[in-house]
A = this chain, B = another copy of it.
Amino acid sequence: MNILERFYQGNKIALSKLISYVENQSTDYRKLLAQIYPKSGKAYRVGLTGPPGAGKSTIVDRLTSLLVKEKRKKVGIIAVDPTSPFTGGALLGDRIRMQDLTNQEEVFIRSMATRGSYGGLATTTKEVSVVMDAFGKDFILIETVGVGQVELDVVNACDTTIVVFVPESGDSIQAMKAGLMEIADIFVVNKSDREGAKRMISELDMILDIRRKKGDWEYPIVSTEAINNKGIDLLLAKIFEHKKFLTDNGILEQHRKNQIKIDLKKIIELKVKELVDEKISNSFNVDEVTERVFRGEDDPYSAVERVLKQIRLTNSE
Contact = CB atoms under 8 A, between A and B. Distances in A.
A268 interface: yes
Interface in A147-198: 147-150, 171-172, 174-175, 178-179
Contacts of A275: 308, 313-315
B33 A299 contact: yes
Given A83-B149, A260-B294, A280 B299 contact: no
Nearest to A296: B38
Size bracket of the A interface: 35 or more
Interface of A: 30-31, 33-35, 37-38, 41, 51-53, 82-87, 90, 118, 146-150, 171-172, 174-175, 178-179, 253, 256-257, 260-261, 263-264, 267-269, 271-273, 275-276, 278, 280, 286, 289-291, 293-294, 296-305, 307-308, 313-315
Contact of A299 (B38, B146, B304): B38
Given A38-B299, A178-B84, A269-B273, A261 B278 contact: no
Q: How many copies does the complex hold?
A: 2
Contacts of A293: 37, 260, 264
